[in-house]
Structure 1
């Protein structure tokens, strides 16, 4: 409501949108690097000195109770803003076809989302409060009790918007970005109207961006090793870096949990044209079958 009443969007605004624990930090870094690739040298890049959340402002955190948006009103265009809000909650002035602002959205296999959210929640658990069990986290997630609403509804909101307004909303899958990072970076650049030139391709700028924003590189920056928390920043920089892997859920979820989540996902996405990858490659010799949740030899 505060955004609807007080935020003044610009045609050049770029909104990095995610459901929590779907690659927010990574996408912030990638979009920031793509847009600002001519402003900084990679050897002395802001991402080597600051966490992506300090470079791409979190929209919900900058709309104060009194309606003040001063901290983002003065940002130069194009403004890069981040959000966890469902697409349906944005005002029409940002989502209708007359608005030129663009949304870059990333989603992730819900099984990995659940595991990541569970670890993250327990990191932030107040002292003296017992940890949240995986079973409890699983039950809540399946019921749709989650930050910013049910995970599946969040994904479908942006997915449907991307079909209706492909020039306004771009949907990415975490697994695709991990598998083909170069192609996904080019795709984002094209969507934002700043495609890589032949000269930039020859200089391997795309490769430089992918390397700079990789989990391995960012997690090893001193600024992201900090575990300091404060009232202004109750989440430390190190809290945003755990594994960044595809398929880590297999180390935590039981076959029954996996099967239930797959069934919910199939039911929610049926007839929408959207799906996550059906098979997770674990090695050169085995794959996990989502139908029977067992390991089978290739």
Structure 2
């Protein structure tokens, strides 16, 4: 792995238990375009460190009925979703109107520090006690539905899943990788990265399996899993916030309050804050790495038409018959 100080600890290959090492030795592996090596576990590709975090999470995490778990693929609006839902569920404890006086936590703390990343926390601190978090506990994960801890699947806790169009997600991940591991990606052509993406061989991939598992779960149990898209969040942020509030049972959220949440959590607002321009997370990752453009359709600045068509053909094939459509 690159020695760059911006690389988060959970993308490294250190501090592994013997049990994890033994499991890893038996798993299929591939060289990644963000990391030196990835390993396939339960049909998904992971770094060694994240695999350790997932295994610990599966073994130790006990869901509570009141839990709220935000799920995304990497680079699918995670930072924004964390900010929005944190502001929403804590609006009585931290009134969004207080943001004008600089008192709101989102003005001085990166969203990733306010909403713990399950497998990342379990990699960093295997004995971390999630029961100490105040209720409702708000967490996030990239873990596939198949690999969620059994307590999450069996409890009535709420899951909000945010999906982003695949070309934009890929391009965001491509640039993210260049920031995090420049040495690893320097000589890795984007054509090869597109090929790997379309084979499902990237961290957390395949994209389609991750999305479709939660898509079908939302259709089968709409009271437990809410499926939203990054694009509808961008186009109708206020309406989507109200959908999430209704799903979570947050009670009535007035229009003025919704507008305040939208403003507080906007890309322009969050990306301009010092904590998100100069700060670092405990994992070592620079907070500015989470804010690039946040645009819909931004893939056009990076992908050629021919590479875009390769992704489009793959996605059309993989999502055929699912009822889930991705327009350009």
TM-score (norm 1): 0.86
CA distance in 1, matches of 2:167, 2:219: 25
SS in 2 for 1:140: helix
Matched, 1:210 2:262: yes
| Paired residues for 1:221-260 under 5 Å | 221-226=273-278, 228=280, 232-260=282-310
Matched, 1:85 2:147: no
Aligned to 1:141: 197
Residue ranges of structure 1 left out of the alignment (5+ in a row) = 280-298
Deviates more, 1:14-23 or 1:220-229: 220-229
- Provide the C-alpha distance between the structure 2 equivalents of 1:91 and 1:9, rounded to a whole number of angstroms: 8
> Distance in 2 between the 1:159 and 1:129 partners?
32
Deviation of 1:23 after TM superposition, in Å, equals 0.3
How far apart are 1:131 and its partner, in Å? 4.7
Task: Provide, for residues 151-209 of structure 1, a one-character-per-residue CA deviation record: whole Å limited to 9, x for no partner.
Answer: 11110011011011101001111111101111000000000001325xx33xx000000
Question: How many pairs are equivalent?
Answer: 269
> Structure 1: how far apart are the matches of 2:159 and 2:301?
33
Counterpart residue number, 2:79? 25
Cα RMSD for the two superposed structures? 1.7
* CA distance, structure 1, for counterparts of residue 60 and residue 237 of structure 2: 37
Flag the 1:128–1:32 CA change in 2: closer, same or farther, 3 A: closer
CA–CA separation in structure 2 for the residues paired with 1:127 and 1:254: 24
Alignment of 1:154-233 (within 5 A): 154-197=210-253, 200-201=254-255, 204-226=256-278, 228=280, 232-233=282-283
Q: TM-score, normalised by structure 2?
A: 0.78
Contact in 2 for aligned 1:58/1:81 (Cα 8 Å):
yes
CA contact (8 A) 1:175 1:246 kept: yes
Match among 131, 148, 167 for residue 73 of structure 1? 131
**CA deviation string 1:19-38 (max 9, x = no partner):** 00000000000110110011
Which structure has more RCO (C-alpha within 8 Å, separation ≥ 6)? Answer: 2
Which residues in structure 2 correspond to 1:122-137 (within 5 Å)?
Answer: 122-125=178-181, 127=183, 130-137=186-193
Mapped to 1, the partners of 2:185 and 2:135 lie a distance apart of 44
